[in-house]
Structure 1
Amino acid sequence: MDRQYFKSHTMCWGTLGTVRPFSGFHPQRDVIQIREAVQKKDAATLVRILTNRNSAQRQDIAKIYKETTQQELIAGMKRVLSGDLEALMLELMMPPLQHEAYRLHQAMAGLGTDEETLLEILCTRSSEKLRGISAAYQEMYKKDLEKEAKGETSGDFAELIVALMNKEDVSGFVQKDIESLSASLDEKKAQAAPWIDILTSRDSNHLNKVFMGMELESGQMVIPALEKRFSGDIHLGLSVLVECIQNPEVYLAKRLTGMKAAVVHGIMVSHSEEDLLGIRVAFLKLTGTSLYTTLQKNFKGYHLEALLAICRSED
């Protein structure tokens, strides 16, 4: 980890991100070192530099590298790196919207669909951010994200996915929404439509009041109530959405507990400049062990060094 990282008086300490702009950033100097690292196949230098620069700085490095060498930095990195380390570092080099688009594409690639990753991104991102991700997806893959996602899903779950992609804040009355959702659970066959409509068209403050009201009236928490009345993908979708409305950082921390490399990469890179500090706090409360220590128990080598640099410090 570069010691200079902590010396800047201009860093964004008001954010909950762990990766912040590097003090005294000199992209030309970084490019010289990276060129030498690529030639010598020196993975340590690539990890040291690129994990200690924020996304915008990495893009500057990639631009100057191409102007200087007439080659793409990504191609050079692929000659040096392999396995999980390569996957992590390539994700780190993607601009944020492209990275989210890439993760969604990977979730729908091949046989089967990774519903949990779809839900993670769609449930934790604002409508404005999702529009940017959709535009990036169109540019990268020449396909419409909404059509792709709808084609990979079916039934109520497909309706939920489409509604999440078109989220909007519409004013509503707490008591009326409580009555609508409670009534949908009292039907002979529970109705997903009111849940999809209300949960994707109200802000989180409103919805948390709705959940509290439902719990006070029924004496039962919302997620167990959903588990009793819904099954399959729509149960998963509504439960994840409720968790993200209540506390997205806790949900993301729960995702990390499995320590699957692809999930760890996706969440840590996606949230490294936004709220990874908050996720770290939630992880510690959830597991009793810090994220930093847990990473050390599950990964090794330069891959571990890169993850620890993104995580940044012990809690």
Structure 2
Amino acid sequence: MKKTNNAPFSQQFQGTIFPAPSFDPVMDAQMLGGALQGMECNKDVLIDILTQRCNAQRLMIAEAYRNMYGKDLLMDLKESLSHHFKEVMVGLMYPPATYDAHELWHAMKGAGTDENCLIDILASRSNGEIFQMKEAYLMQYQNDLLQDIYSETSGHFRDTLMNLAQGTRQEGYADPAMAAQDAMVLWEACQQKTGEHKNMLQMILCNKSYQQLWMVFQEFQNISGQDIVEAINECYDGYFQELLLDKILCRQQKYTTFKYFIYFQDLGFHNKTVIRILIARSEIDLMTIRQRYKERYGKSLFHDINHFSSGHYETALLAICGGDVQDY
């Protein structure tokens, strides 16, 4: 039996956007008001302010803007901008839970479903984040998130998403004896692949704590001689496989989000995915994502953004990524 010698992932994650020093929301609101007036919007001012303030500061700017002009900054951005640049600027103005709700709604709205968006968000959020997301979803759209997921997806993929959207995962609990039992269940599920085994597999991955799953994955490799990621890749396919893999990678590495980037050279620049990840992770671990991206692909994230986007849209994305010229 092959035994892993990997240690638990413990690197300190780092974002790219931080609270701006000497912050003056009234002055920022006044500058944004001037930038949004007239026929030509001053997009450079929008980028300079909105990409260099943390989310909490942007919300304070929006309040100052409302008091100063009697108008909603978010609505003015929507009316004044267009295309992907608009998506970036508007996305920056949502609180995190509201932004998640916005993305989930649009992933399920109309014909077709963006399964990758559902996987990205629901596989990576904590219980508290999922609770806030569901509240924001209900408040914004007067719809229940669980009901919409149920109506827009199917099969074991739907069952797993529904489980995740409950937000009832164990937290801070670990039982070494139970880890060996769970690992055996996972191994049997990879061998048998029946509906019952799929249910047991997703129940373990969706409900066990980070600490517990780390031990489960170690035990799985001791039992099978195979890494859990390799086993899932061999035994399952489709969106169910992708969702399981996302859960495993989130548990193993505490959300190394570089995995969610589509490698631009192979699959093309998927704008909505890139925008969503850059905004959602900018204050959490985007600097770490940049580092992992370069390690994996041999090119910087800056390089590929520069290659596949242009104009103010490109400038905004690069500003959110932070860094110096040499990072390109």
Q: Would you call these one fold, judging by a TM-score over 0.5?
A: yes
Q: What corresponds to 2:194 in structure 1?
A: 189
Q: Which residue matches 2:227?
A: 221
Matched residue SS, 2:15: coil
Classify the secondary structure of the residue corresponding to 2:123.
helix
**Preserved contact between residue 134 and residue 144 of structure 2 (Cα < 8 Å):** yes
Instruction: Give, in angstroms, the shift of residue 269 of structure 1.
Output: 0.4
Aligned match of 2:21 in 12, 20, 23? 23
Contact 2:17-2:53 within 8 A present in 1 as well: yes
Tell me how far 1:278 sits from its aligned partner: 1.5
Letter aligned with residue 280 of structure 1: R
- Give the match for residue 3 of structure 1: none
How far apart, CA to CA, are the structure 2 residues paired with 1:36 and 1:232?
A: 49
Equivalent pair of 1:268/1:276 in contact (CA under 8 Å): yes
Partner Cα distance (1:251, 1:307) in 2: 16
Given the alignment, which residue of 240, 243, 247 partners 2:249?
A: 243
Map 1:75-224; keep pairs closer than 5 Å. 75-166=75-166, 167-169=168-170, 171-172=174-175, 173-187=178-192, 189=194, 191-224=197-230
Task: Please state whether the residue corresponding to 1:71 is helix, strand or coil.
Answer: coil
Runs of 5+ in structure 1 lacking a partner?
1-13
Q: Which amino acid aligns with 2:222?
A: L
Give 5+ residue unaligned stretches, structure 2: 1-11
Q: Secondary structure at the residue paired with 1:52?
A: coil
* Conservation of the 8 A alpha-carbon contact between 2:174 and 2:211: no
Distance 1:66 1:189 in 2: 56
What stretches of structure 1 move > 6 A for 4+ residues in a row?
none
Q: Distance in 1 between matches of 2:199 and 2:141?
A: 31
Amino acid at match of 1:168: R
The answer on 1:73 being equivalent to 2:82 is no
What one-letter code is carried by the residue in structure 1 that aligns with 2:246? V
Deviation at 1:144, TM superposition (A): 0.6
Q: Is the 8 A contact 2:44 2:312 kept in 1?
A: yes
C-alpha displacement at 1:168, in angstroms?
1.6
CA deviations over 1:91-134 (Å, ceiling 9, x no partner): 01111110011111111112121111111111111011100100
Q: Which amino acid aligns with 1:305?
A: T
User: Secondary structure of 1:111's partner?
Assistant: coil
1:3-38 deviation digits (Å, cap 9, x = unpaired): xxxxxxxxxxx9712111111111111122111111
CA distance 1:133–1:254, change in 2 (3 Å): closer
User: Per-residue displacement from partner, 1:258-307 (whole Å, max 9, x unpaired)?
Assistant: 43111111011011111111211211111111212221121111111111
Q: 1:209 to 1:101 in 2, by over 3 A?
A: same
Aligned to 1:297: 307
Deviation at 1:147, TM superposition (A): 1.1
**What TM-score, normalized by structure 2, do the two folds share?**
0.86
- The amino acid that maps onto 1:95 is P
* RMSD over equivalenced CA pairs, Å: 1.9
Distance in 2 (alpha carbons) for counterparts of 1:275 and 1:284: 15
Higher relative contact order, structure no. (Cα contacts within 8 Å, ≥ 6 residues apart): 2
- Tell me the matched-pair count: 302
Q: Could you say if the C-alpha distance between residues 283 and 36 of structure 1 is closer, same or farther in structure 2, counting changes exceeding 3 Å? A: same
SS of 1:182's partner is helix
